[in-house]
Amino acid sequence: MVALRAVVCFAVLAASALATNVQQCPGQEFENLSDNVQLSPCKKPPCKLKKGTSQSITINFTPETDLADVKNHVTADLFGVELPFVGVDGSSICEKVYMENGDKAACPLKAGTKYTYKDSFPILSFYPTVTLRVHWGLHDLNKKDLLCFEVPARIA
């Protein structure tokens, strides 16, 4: 019994170590948000986005309705101006979604089914060296957020 408790504690700690402490989008509340988002490499905010490297993201989510398509809405708030993340904002996630067991999934996504979205994106060399706030949302075709978070970051 003690060994089982140790294994359960280790599993919980390992899962917590992988999660990224992200913030709710203004006016929204998504249950267990930080437990369902992992940015790598980013152990704690502000996330350091190094030019010429890639940032990986893993998001676990369960849609409430069937979805024909899901798109990224990724912007950077830079001095109060919202700028799209080139190459990521507006792209479909359908080719990068997996079932809870790791099998490849595809759109349409089914209501009540747990999915994992895995992607990586480049931090382009022409991005300015600056501190910013990244806004990341997963939108349905009506541009309603299925999930949304914000995280402070620094491009270096």
146 three-class SS? strand
CB 147 within 8 A of CB 61: yes
In terms of residue numbers, what domain contains 122?
A: 2-155
Q: Token match 């490849």: residue?
A: 104
Structural domain count, the chain: 1
Residue 58 has which token pair? Answer: 């893993």
Higher pLDDT, 95 or 27: 95
CATH number of the CATH domain containing 119 = 2.60.40.770
Strand stretches in 97-144, DSSP E? 97-99, 115-122, 130-139
pLDDT tens for residues 71-130? 999 999 988 899 998 788 999 999 999 998 999 999 999 999 999 999 998 888 988 899
Residues 6+ apart with CB under 8 A from 16: 35
In angstroms, what CA-CA distances link 50 with 40, 46, 70, 153?
12, 12, 28, 10
pLDDT, residue 18, reads: 52
pLDDT, residue 16, reads: 36
Contacts of the segment 96-104: beta carbons below 8 A, 24+ positions apart: 97/70
pLDDT tens for residues 5-25? 322 223 333 333 456 889 999
